[in-house]
Structure 1
Amino acid sequence: MSTALSEPSRRSFLGLGLATGSSLLLAAACGSGGMAGSGGTTPDTLKWGWDLPTSWDPVTSSAGWDVHALSLVYAGLTKHDGQGNPVPAVAESWKYSDEGSRVTFRLRSGLKFSDGTPLDATAVKKSIERGRDAPKSLIAAQLVDIKSVSAPDATTVVLDLRAPNYQIPSLFAGKTGMVVNPAAFERDPAGLATKPAGAGPYTLTSYVENSQATLERNPAYWDAANVKAANFQLFPLPDAATVIAGLQSGRYNVAQIPGSQVAAAKAAGLEVQVIPSLVVAVLDVNVTKPPFDDPNAVLALKFAVDRAALLKTQQFGIGEVSYQPFPKGYVGYDPQLEGVYAHDPAKARELLAASRYGTGAPVTITASSSGTLAQQLQAQLQAVGFKPTIETIPEAEATQIIYIQHSKALFVDAFAGRDSTAQAFQVLFGTEGLMNPGRRTSPELAAAVRTVTRTPLEDPKYPQVVQAATAAAVRTMPNVFLFTTPRILAHTKSVSALPKDTVVQRFEGVTVA
Structure 2
Amino acid sequence: MRWLLVCAALLAAPASAQTLRIGLGADPNVLDPARSGSFVERVVFTALCDRLLDVAPDLSFRPELATAWAWEDGGRTLRLTLRTDGRFHDGTALDAEAVKINLDRYRSAPESVRRAELRPVTAVEVVDARTLLIRLSQPHAPLLSVLSDRAGMILSPTALARLGARIGEEPVCSGPFRLTRRVAQDRIEMERVPEHWNAANIHVQRIIMRPMPDSTVRLLNLRSGQLDLIERVAPADVAGARRDARIAIAESTAIAYQGIYFNTESGALRDPRLREAFELSMDRAVINRVALEGLFVPSNQPEAPGAPYHFAALAAPARNVARARALLREAGQPNPAFTLLVPNSPVEAQVAEVMQSMAAEAGFQMRIETLESAAMVARAEAGRYDVSFGIWSGRADPDGNIALWIASDGFLNRMFYRNAAVDAAFTAARQTTDMAARRGFYQAAAEQWMADRPMLILYHYRWFWGLRARMTGFEPSPDGLIRFSGLRLPPG
The 2-side partners of 1:158 and 1:71 are apart by: 25
**Secondary structure of 2:331's aligned partner:** coil
Measured after TM superposition, the shift of residue 254 of structure 1 is: 0.6
Q: 1:106 to 1:465 in 2, by over 3 A?
A: farther
Q: 1:110 to 1:254 in 2, by over 3 A?
A: closer
Which residue identity lines up with residue 253 of structure 1 in the other structure? D
Alignment of 1:489-508 (within 5 A): 489-496=465-472, 498-503=474-479, 504-508=481-485
What is the aligned partner in structure 2 of residue 345 from structure 1? 321
What is the aligned partner in structure 2 of residue 14 from structure 1? none
TM-score normalised according to structure 1 size: 0.82
Tell me the alpha carbon deviations over residues 50-77 of structure 1, each in whole angstroms, 9 at most, x when there is no partner: 1443223212334243111111111111
- Residues 380 and 388, structure 2, Cα contact 8 Å, conserved in 1: yes
The 1-side partners of 2:95 and 2:257 are apart by: 37
Greater shift, 392-401 or 128-137, is seen at: 392-401
- Residues 291 and 357, structure 1, Cα contact 8 Å, conserved in 2: no
- 1:202 counterpart (169, 174, 177): 177
Alignment of 1:32-43 (within 5 A): 37=12, 39-41=14-16, 43=17
What is the aligned partner in structure 2 of residue 416 from structure 1? 393
What is the aligned partner in structure 2 of residue 303 from structure 1? 280
What is the aligned partner in structure 1 of residue 356 from structure 2? 378
- 1:79 counterpart (44, 47, 54): 54
Q: 2:247 matched to 1:261?
A: no
Alignment of 1:244-259 (within 5 A): 244-256=219-231, 257-259=233-235
- Residues 341 and 385, structure 2, Cα contact 8 Å, conserved in 1: no
Which residue identity lines up with residue 280 of structure 1 in the other structure? Y
Q: 1:340 to 1:249 in 2, by over 3 A?
A: closer
Which residue identity lines up with residue 355 of structure 2 in the other structure? L
- Residues 178 and 192, structure 2, Cα contact 8 Å, conserved in 1: yes
What is the aligned partner in structure 2 of residue 48 from structure 1? 22
The 2-side partners of 1:190 and 1:471 are apart by: 36
- 5+ residue gaps, structure 1, are 1-18, 31-35
- 1:450 counterpart (419, 427, 443): 427
- Residues 46 and 512, structure 1, Cα contact 8 Å, conserved in 2: yes
Measured after TM superposition, the shift of residue 443 of structure 1 is: 4.1
Alignment of 1:388-427 (within 5 A): 388-390=365-367, 392=369, 394-395=371-372, 397-405=375-383, 408-418=385-395, 420-427=397-404
Tell me the alpha carbon deviations over residues 228-278 of structure 1, each in whole angstroms, 9 at most, x when there is no partner: 334322211264443333113322111133222223323432211233333
Measured after TM superposition, the shift of residue 465 of structure 1 is: 4.7
Which residue identity lines up with residue 379 of structure 1 in the other structure? S
The 2-side partners of 1:140 and 1:333 are apart by: 27
- Residues 367 and 391, structure 1, Cα contact 8 Å, conserved in 2: yes
What is the aligned partner in structure 2 of residue 229 from structure 1? 204
What is the aligned partner in structure 2 of residue 281 from structure 1? 258
What is the aligned partner in structure 1 of residue 443 from structure 2? 468
Q: 1:298 to 1:264 in 2, by over 3 A?
A: same
- 2:410 counterpart (409, 422, 433): 433
Percent of matched pairs sharing the same residue: 22
Q: 1:103 to 1:121 in 2, by over 3 A?
A: same
The 2-side partners of 1:153 and 1:234 are apart by: 38
The 1-side partners of 2:52 and 2:204 are apart by: 23
Q: 2:187 matched to 1:212?
A: yes
Q: 1:288 to 1:130 in 2, by over 3 A?
A: closer
The 2-side partners of 1:400 and 1:52 are apart by: 14
**Secondary structure of 1:461's aligned partner:** helix
TM-score normalised according to structure 2 size: 0.86
- 1:67 counterpart (7, 29, 42): 42
Which residue identity lines up with residue 297 of structure 2 in the other structure? E
- 1:159 counterpart (128, 134, 137): 134
- Residues 425 and 449, structure 1, Cα contact 8 Å, conserved in 2: no
What is the aligned partner in structure 2 of residue 484 from structure 1? 460
**Secondary structure of 1:233's aligned partner:** strand
Alignment of 1:347-362 (within 5 A): 347-353=323-329, 355-357=330-332, 360-362=334-336
- 1:101 counterpart (61, 76, 83): 76
Q: 1:61 to 1:285 in 2, by over 3 A?
A: closer
The 2-side partners of 1:466 and 1:74 are apart by: 34
Q: 2:128 matched to 1:150?
A: no
The 1-side partners of 2:449 and 2:110 are apart by: 34
The 1-side partners of 2:437 and 2:51 are apart by: 24
Which residue identity lines up with residue 112 of structure 2 in the other structure? S
Measured after TM superposition, the shift of residue 394 of structure 1 is: 5.0
